[in-house]
Amino acid sequence: MRALIQRVSTAQVAVDGAVIGRCGTGLLILVCAMQGDTAAEAEKLAAKIARLRVFKDDEGRMNRSITDIGGSALVVSQFTLAADTRRGNRPGFSAAAAPEDGARLYLDFADRLRGHGIAVETGRFGADMAVSLTNDGPVTIWLDTSS
């Protein structure tokens, strides 16, 4: 699985103009299931993110995790993280999981993140979503369970 995480002070996702998910201080997590991914990758990614120390401590260093600060997460499916841009000018997405597998793993990932004690809201898999955020830092980190 792949994820792009952004440390945020606020984030929200809307579908057809209606906000369906939001978070305050915490993480916006754009996530993509890849072909061959299983529940093991969903758990590996959730555990890594739950422990990732990207929030400031009292001395201003990134030394606290989302669980340490009691932060929340907004998880949004983003199959374009599977983009292959090595040839031509149009990205290919054949490395992404099939939609039914992607949806299942996306929801499984969100549930596993909740299992680490994190308040999680989500977007809607496959929908045309409008995501807005205030990136704090900015801090943006790429994670991939295959590497």
Query: At 137, which CATH number?
Result: 3.50.80.10
- Per-residue pLDDT, averaged over 78-102, amounts to 95
- Known active-site residue 109: no
Q: What pLDDT score was predicted for residue 147?
A: 72
> Is 80 exceeded by the pLDDT of residue 11?
yes
Point out the catalytic residue in the list 6, 12, 79, 122.
79
Point out the catalytic residue in the list 6, 12, 55, 78.
78
Tokens 């369970």 sit on residue: 145
- Known active-site residue 125: no
Point out the catalytic residue in the list 80, 93, 134, 140.
80
Domain residues for the domain of 21 are 2-144
- Known active-site residue 134: no
Q: Which residues contact 35 (CB under 8 A, 6 or more apart)?
A: 94, 95, 96, 97, 98
| In contact, 140 and 28? CB cutoff 8 Å | no
Query: Could you tell me the pLDDT band of residue 87, with boundaries at 50, 70 and 90?
Result: very high
Interval 104-129: pLDDT, tens: 999 999 999 999 999 999 999 999 99
What stretches of the chain show up as alpha helix (H) in DSSP? 39-51, 66-69, 99-115
Total domain count, the chain: 1
> Cα(49)–Cα(74) distance, rounded to whole angstroms?
12
Q: What pLDDT score was predicted for residue 68?
A: 98
Q: What pLDDT score was predicted for residue 63?
A: 97
| In contact, 57 and 64? CB cutoff 8 Å | yes
Statement: the pTM of the whole predicted model exceeds 0.85: yes
